Structure 1
């Protein structure tokens, strides 16, 4: 009895530890396809760096050429992100299956968690690279305004959210 309780506790702990990062990947809120915040940003609001492209164009004084280049960067970023999400999703499903087995093989779980962690790290690095690419399009004055905008967002309840 004690052995099965320990096993159940270990499986529950692994599962619970994996869950926060699943929601962090999706911005804490999930849409119908599970992509949440990032999809809304890319499709509805012009990209993860900009909440409202029109407002940001006005606030930062972006030119039409800058807006066009940022849209291209966002499109390229979205394509790269899709590639990684296609790699990540089957691994997350496989992890769930492993955890639902009668006898959980912790070595397999550990190896799979490492693979998932590596993919999530790559996704995060891609987000950082994306932000840096967009910043290259901005003038020093626009970068300064963007930093002020970020500080303002961090002070709001709920924090900055992904991409900021």
Structure 2
């Protein structure tokens, strides 16, 4: 009996935790990429900074409706999981829809990051690479899976991107 209760609790908590990670701000989920225009170590020119900021604003405007649909789908999915008797087929269908939204968001973020990279000089790109893997990659959550700042399973590099942060 206790094993069944644990499984049910974990199943119900998964969508809830996914929703928590998708809120705006540090550690937010899908859509968050770093604002490299604010990084002093790249020595961006005023023109580069302006181009990157223009791209970033367009990117944020572009992904906002997608994020809203993703948040709504995640909330609905959480509700389905928390039902006294979860409806298997409804959960599976909605999970596919939510995953499709995540995939669309990832494609838009990848396009944005590639566009930003084209603005940088080879030297600036080398600086980004020297910071290690993921400097301009997608952030899918906070510093750790449990929301803490420890390094452990699910921990993320704190210099990873944050472009989907809403204002």
**SS state at 2:85 partner:** coil
1:17 aligned to 14, 18, 37, which one?
14
Aligned-CA RMSD value: 3.2
Q: Scaled by the length of structure 2, what TM-score is found?
A: 0.67
2:34 is matched with 49
Structure 1 residues 18 and 94, CA gap change in structure 2 (3 angstroms): closer
Name stretches of at least 5 consecutive residues in structure 2 with no aligned partner: 136-150, 163-167
Matches of 2:133 and 2:109 in 1, distance apart? 19
Aligned-pair distance for 1:11? Answer: 4.2
Structure 1 residues 120 and 114, CA gap change in structure 2 (3 angstroms): same
**SS state at 2:131 partner:** helix
Would you say the 8 A contact 1:127–1:163 is kept in 2? no
2:147 is matched with none
Would you say the 8 A contact 1:38–1:48 is kept in 2? no
Name stretches of at least 5 consecutive residues in structure 1 with no aligned partner: 27-33, 40-46
Aligned-pair distance for 1:144? Answer: 0.7
Bigger relative contact order, structure 1 or 2 (CA pairs below 8 A, ≥6 apart): 2
Would you say the 8 A contact 1:150–1:160 is kept in 2? no
Q: Scaled by the length of structure 1, what TM-score is found?
A: 0.68
Question: What is the aligned residue count?
Answer: 140
1:36 aligned to 16, 20, 25, which one?
25
